[in-house]
Amino acid sequence: MNEFELIARLTKSLPTNETVVAGAGDDCAVLDLGVPEKLILFKTDAVVEGIHFTKETPPEKIGRKALARCLSDIAAMAGTPTAALVTIALPKNFAAEFVGKIYDGLNTLAKKTGVAVVGGETTTNPERILISIALLGTIPRARQILRSGAKVGDAIFVTGELGGSLAEKHLEFEPRLEEARWLAEHFRLHALMDLSDGLGGDLRHILNASGAGAEILKSAVPVSRTAKLAARGNSSAKPAFVAALTDGEDFELLFTVASKDAVKLLDAWKKKFPEVKLSCIGKIVSGAGILIRDKHGAHQFNAHGYVHFA
């Protein structure tokens, strides 16, 4: 049983109440706590030594990444982050200075993104550092953009470049908060999420939630320079295109809009965010699964994105 199978099983019949607008299964839970014009976003995410960072990772970057991952989930709802709690589990003989630097990295990103750090907890995890972040955010009531809204004919967009993130970007990425809010304010997004497990895996979440398939134009997928270099230098490495679809930890936005909005959106984006690439990589089609179209034709894409526990 892998992570996704376990989650599917565990989230089948969770307790609910009248505050729940969207529970498990999207980037954030969405709650109605009675704020007149807003809904509340609620998200947790954890990073673990040896998995999401190493013993050699500078502590400031560990703290930064822990928060940035959660912020990316708020971006995936086109939301505004508000307040975070930090739970940090430490081996017994931790160095206080090291822990202080984890907080420094986290606090710097919190300040930059307007997030209050309102406390948390320290506990013991004897073998390795684990940091779990809980984050609250808000969205305007009329603007819930879930994974389930993609429609046949939609254009599929992705920000930035994909693949090779583990070389460096996973510690330094900018959560696409501003970009996502701008998109949601100016265009009617049908589906939106952030890429954490790789386009090949994450796009399936939109397709499954929306009951549709996708056709991706291979030449349109923005493969990162890092992924290209890694493939070029090592014959046993993944081809760069496969890396772009499966490496994970890109933390870019993946979204769909009606095809009639696609050109207008691309033009407006280039003016607003000239330094952030935006690529139309394909379209939503009827059916299920992902078809990759290249000069030889169309092929089913069966590889998955990164799966924990796999």
- Binding residues among 31-60 for a second copy as defined by CB under 8 A: 31, 33-38, 40, 42-46, 48, 50-51
Considering the complex, state which of residue 57 and residue 138 has its C-beta at the smaller distance from a second copy. Answer: 138
Helix (H) or strand (E) holding 98: helix 96-112
Residue 112 CB, shortest distance to a second copy, in Å, is 9
d(CA 286, CA 44): 33
| Dist. CA 228–CA 271, nearest whole Å | 28
Binding flag, residue 237, a second copy (CB under 8 A): no
DSSP state of 34: S
CB of 38 to a second copy, least distance (A): 7
Rule CB under 8 A: which of 92-151 touch a second copy?
92, 94, 96, 99-100, 103, 107, 110-111, 114-128, 130, 132, 134, 136, 138
Query: From the CB of residue 79, how many other CB atoms can be counted at a distance below 10 Å?
Result: 31
What's phi and psi for 124, nearest 5 deg? -105, 130
Please enumerate in sequence order all residues whose Cβ is within 8 A of that of 33, keeping only pairs 6 or more positions apart, or say none.
19, 40
Verify binding: residue 205, a second copy, rule CB under 8 A.
no
Q: How far is the CB of 196 from a second copy (least distance, A)?
A: 11
CA distance 249 to 160: 12
Closest by CA to 201, choosing from 282, 280, 278, 289, is: 289
Tokens of 238: 């993944």
Our finding on whether 182 is near a second copy (CB under 8 A) is: no
Q: In this complex, which beta carbon is closest to a second copy, that of residue 92 or of residue 260?
A: 92
Closest approach, Cβ 82 to a second copy, in A, equals: 6
Question: Does 287 sit near a second copy (CB under 8 A)?
Answer: no
Which residue number, 138 or 259, has a Cβ lying nearer to a second copy? 138
Shortest Å distance, C-beta 236 to a second copy: 25
The site that binds a second copy (CB under 8 A) totals a number of residues, namely: 72
Of 157, 161, 184, 163, the closest CA to residue 74 belongs to 184
Q: Assess 8 for contact with a second copy (CB under 8 A).
A: no
Residue placing its CB nearer to a second copy in the complex, 119 or 287: 119
Name the E strands within 146-237.
155-159, 189-194, 213-217
